[in-house]
Amino acid sequence: MGRTILLDKVNVPGIRNFGVYRANGGYKSVDKGLLEMSPAQVQQEVIKSGLRGRGGAGFPTGLKWSFLDRKSDRPRYLVCNADESEPGTFKDRFLMERLPHLLIEGLIISSYALGVKTCYIYIRGEFKYLVGIMESAIREAKQNKYLGEKILGTDFSLEIYVHPGAGAYICGEETALLESLEGKRGNPRIKPPFPAYKGLYDCPTVVNNVETLATVATIIEMGGEAYSKIGIGKSTGTKLISACGNINRPGVYEIELGLAVEDFIYSDEYCGGIRNGRMLKAVIPGGSSVPILPADLILNTAKGEQRLISYESLAEGEFESGSMLGSGGFIVFDEDQCIVRNTWNLTRFYRHESCGQCSPCREGTGWMEKILYRLENGQGRMSDIDLLVRVAKNIEGNTICPLGDAAAWPVASAIRHFRGEFEAHLK
């Protein structure tokens, strides 16, 4: 069995309840951090751990924290990005549903390290049922003196509030999330200034996602150095993977970074192989916004070595033969899947979710959707394939936020690796 840290207690009966969670070792990181460590020491442990953001970008968490403007006399905020809306990704929802106190524990110790007294959990609009689960857990934590004034008798105080969004994919981008949290339309902000200096209400703010903050709790409990020894290279620790598509065992799996992709797909411990004994055709390894890879490249790197689930290995070869770990949304396609139809489906999503602020994304996603509709429905021209590539290239890198890139990469990579299938639609 692979090593689990975050999901170690997920199947304990009643683990959503404070008493059961506490009896099974819960809130140990808060005890240790607040009673035995300074905020700077907590942050140093996170830096030592090598933890990278688990929301998609993979930026070092401790380094991101170090950018926070500590000289400002304005309040500081920690915002938990629980607006999980990447197609193919559902591990943050799983964590909040099954282990709400683990997230709260991570928020408390992270807030302590950052000098934050007010924290917000921004939950995706479609996950309204999670609001009740999180608010119930917050009440329990407060009743047991882990939230509120002078936690555990120390001078540290913290309040956590849950804020449901309205169901906009764009609000998964941290500055659009902050705009929405302030009661405005969720349009991404131009950066700089960055949230670390001017974030929520123009105050210094750190935004981390659910899995990242939950992991902080486990790091403080076990120690940053011990955590850094798990995983491979700069991809330290474990990662939650949302596995779906044409596999026998879809679900959320915690894997040690560095696990071979082939083992993850075919092992009975994880995906259990391709459904109905069919052949593997392709995989989108990090949620719908990352490049798709055909079977030969997802199982092997450009050098012919075995592909591993890590930030470095999946990206090897850049976008010619690589992809990204992203948010860990692992979508598997079997030999019967139509790449053109699936690409059209993803493009419909990105066209619908574009905020419209940047013309390359606003217009380009619409054009790509129309062209792919033509191709899928027998009305296309051979020139449409190269036209799609040009449109994608004109979107990429030319927008305020990464949604434009997220819309362009799937189209460009699908044509790069499956051009013959696009041409077959025309012939």
**What pLDDT is recorded for position 1?**
55
Q: Residues near 183 by Cβ (< 8 Å), separated by ≥ 6?
A: none
**pLDDT band of 3, cuts 50, 70, 90:** confident
Span(s) in the chain for CATH 1.20.1440.230 = 339-426
Q: Which two tokens stand for residue 264?
A: 């993850």
**What pLDDT is recorded for position 302?**
75
Q: Residues near 111 by Cβ (< 8 Å), separated by ≥ 6?
A: 78, 117, 119, 158
| Nearest CA among 236, 242, 200, 198 for reference residue 219 | 236
Q: How far apart (Å, rounded) are the C-alpha atoms in residues 401 and 407?
A: 11
Q: How confident is the model over 344-382, as pLDDT tens digits?
A: 999 999 999 999 999 999 999 999 999 999 999 989 999
Determine the average pLDDT of the residues in 178-205: 96
Residue with tokens 């075919």: 266
Name the average pLDDT for the chain. Answer: 95
Q: How far apart (Å, rounded) are the C-alpha atoms in residues 273 and 266?
A: 4
Spatial contact of 203 and 74, defined as CB atoms under 8 Å apart? yes
Query: Could you give the C-alpha distances from 137 to 19, 55, 150, 361, in angstroms and in order?
Result: 11, 23, 19, 39
The sign of the dihedral angle between the CA atoms of 20, 21, 25, 26 is negative
Span(s) in the chain for CATH 3.40.50.11540 = 18-229
Q: How far apart (Å, rounded) are the C-alpha atoms in residues 308 and 76?
A: 38
Q: Residues near 186 by Cβ (< 8 Å), separated by ≥ 6?
A: 165, 166, 168, 170, 171, 176, 177, 179, 180, 355
Determine the average pLDDT of the residues in 279-296: 96
Q: What architecture does CATH give domain 339-426?
A: Up-down Bundle (1.20)
Q: Could you write out the three-class secondary structure of 79-120?
A: EEEECCCCCCCCHHHHHHHHCHHHHHHHHHHHHHHHCCCEEE
Spatial contact of 68 and 269, defined as CB atoms under 8 Å apart? no
Span(s) in the chain for CATH 3.10.20.600 = 235-334
Spatial contact of 103 and 111, defined as CB atoms under 8 Å apart? no
Amino acid at 291: P
- Residue 121 CB neighbours (<10 A): 27
What topology does CATH give the domain 235-334?
A: Ubiquitin-like (UB roll) (3.10.20)
**pLDDT band of 256, cuts 50, 70, 90:** very high
**What pLDDT is recorded for position 319?**
64
Amino acid at 327: S
Q: How confident is the model over 373-413, as pLDDT tens digits?
A: 999 998 999 999 999 999 999 999 999 999 999 999 999 99
Which CATH number fits the domain 18-229, given the four candidates 3.40.50.2000, 3.30.70.100, 3.40.50.11540, 3.90.740.10? 3.40.50.11540
Q: How far apart (Å, rounded) are the C-alpha atoms in residues 235 and 257?
A: 6
**What pLDDT is recorded for position 304?**
79
**What pLDDT is recorded for position 161?**
98
Q: Which two tokens stand for residue 224?
A: 């940053």
CA angle, 265 as apex, 264 and 268 as ends, to 5°? 75
Where does residue 332 fall: left (phi above 0), alpha (psi -120 to 50 degrees), or beta otherwise? Answer: beta
Q: Model pTM?
A: 0.94
Indicate the SS3 state at residue 11.
coil
| Nearest CA among 126, 161, 125, 114 for reference residue 141 | 161
Lowest mean pLDDT across 13-17, 179-183, 311-315: 311-315
Spatial contact of 174 and 209, defined as CB atoms under 8 Å apart? no
Spatial contact of 174 and 80, defined as CB atoms under 8 Å apart? no
**pLDDT band of 56, cuts 50, 70, 90:** confident
Which of the 8 DSSP states describes residue 162?
A: E
Helix%, strand%, coil% for the chain, nearest 5: 50, 15, 35
Residue with tokens 């804020």: 163
| Nearest CA among 193, 42, 185 for reference residue 110 | 42
